[in-house]
Amino acid sequence: MQHNSMAVRVAAEADLTQVLRVQREAFGRVAAELDIDPTFLPPLRETIDDLRALVSSGTVFFVATADDTIVGSVRGTPEADRISIGRLVVASGWLRRGVASELMSHLESHFAAAERFVLFTGADAAAPLALYAKLGYETTHSQSENGVELVWLSKTVRPERDLLYPDAHV
């Protein structure tokens, strides 16, 4: 998938070091903007071994690249009845250039058979919340964890059979 000089693809194991670099940059930015202790944010504590373990257990990482440099990433984890989306991150120089939208589109296309996608973000994360709303995600609930308000969102995709046979009851 191309977007100007950017390409989106499934990450290889060799990409995980760059994924971690972009993740730390992005969540470091969030911690600074929202005055959150960086040690509180799990994305800033993850290691390369943590990412490798996620891949081994079925999580799929997607990367946006420009000139062989990873400029964004997102992960999807298949669960019993849904795909859990996590850690949508974009490098500073690539903000507001469509990277996050392309990553989400690629993830949703990759998991096209899924009926539901779920994720969470900070209640104060205005730009991500606007993006998710634009992509069809709706708030399901919120919860405070260690003084930080988190919002859970979900997107239900109608199964193709319902679109083909809207009156059928399976």
- Return the domain boundaries, the chain: 2-164
Confidence category of residue 4, pLDDT binned at 50, 70, 90: low
- What are the residues facing 63 on neighbouring strands? 9, 73
**pLDDT of 147 over the 80 cut:** no
Q: Are 73 and 26 in contact (CB under 8 A)?
A: no
- 8 A C-beta contact, residue 30 and residue 41: yes
Separation of alpha carbons 151 and 149, rounded Å: 7
Looking at 57-164, list the stretches that DSSP marks H as alpha helix, in order from N- to C-terminal side.
99-110, 126-134, 160-164
Domain boundaries 2-164, corresponding CATH code: 3.40.630.30
Residues 6+ away with beta carbon under 8 Å from 25 = 89, 91, 92
pLDDT tens for each residue of 40-97:
889 999 999 999 999 999 999 999 999 989 999 999 999 988 999 999 999 999 999 9
Cα within 13 Å of Cα(107), Cβ side: 33
Per-residue model confidence as pLDDT tens digits over 68-79: 899 999 999 999
**pTM of the entire predicted model:** 0.88
Mean pLDDT of 115-142: 94
